[in-house]
Amino acid sequence: MDDIKRNKPLSGIGQVYRKETLGTQVAGELRSAVMSGLFRPGELLKIRDVAQALKVSVTPAREALLSLVSAGIFETGANGTIRVPDLSIERIIEVRKIRCALECMAAREAFPRLSTGAIKRLKRLNGKMFEANEKGDTVSIAKINWEFHFEIYRLSEAPYLNSMIENCWLLVGSYCHVLYPNFTEFGFEHHHQIILAAERKDAVAFEACLKEDIITASERLINFVERDREVVDGGF
């Protein structure tokens, strides 16, 4: 028995159970807010403001913000301030390439698992997106768009892949507001074509429509950044 303990010293240690820390929970809330387009490029995030909004102390708020800085979602500025980064055309293009690769992979994995129930959920989400657009609720539009896409990606049953896709969305999340409401009609149509392809059991069209949705949205982001640069360069 003594020999066994010496050879496997960890065998006598019990399992440790630990819930998520407050910092992790705060980071999760902030990530959801970014993907819903609640923050604007260049917006400053104060630790105390985050703590008050989420009703936690400054310690988990600071921990959460710094973890998102490490992930490249936020950045530090002068005097240690934390801000939402501006988006460059180069960054949009790089993220688009990664998204096309990862999200098309997720779509291929998910396609065989697209049940009648899953297709109904996609239709329902697209309907909710239309209703939010009618009300001019751009925050809800962005959130529902996220839900629509990840309804598909979760069916891939690939958690690491989903995590990487989520990180890509976070990198451009602060610019979601520029897509809506003008882009919403394109989004409806892309989603509609995705649903039709699923109903036809056409895997090639399903992936192609999803990819087109990503590319079209990124082109709109690029156009926005280019116009923004022209205004700055023009001195307005």
**pLDDT tens, 5-22?**
445 555 444 544 456 788
> Does the predicted TM-score (pTM) go above 0.85?
no
Instruction: Delineate the domains of the chain, giving CATH numbers in brackets.
Output: 12-83 (1.10.10.10), 89-233 (1.20.120.530)
Q: If we measure between CA atoms, which residue out of 42, 41, 58 comes closest to residue 50?
A: 58
Q: Higher pLDDT residue, 135 or 181?
A: 135
String of DSSP letters for 40-92: -TT-EE-HHHHHHHHT--HHHHHHHHHHHHHTTSSEE-GGG-EEPPP--HHHH
Contact 206, 156 (CB under 8 A): no
**pLDDT tens, 143-185?**
898 999 999 999 999 999 999 999 999 888 767 766 766 666 7
Q: Higher pLDDT residue, 229 or 81?
A: 81
Cα(112)–Cα(155) distance, integer angstroms = 9
* pLDDT reading at 194 higher than 80: yes
C-alpha neighbours within 13 Å on the C-beta side of residue 187: 28
**Range with the lowest mean pLDDT among 12-21, 25-34, 113-122, 202-211?**
12-21
Q: Higher pLDDT residue, 8 or 227?
A: 227
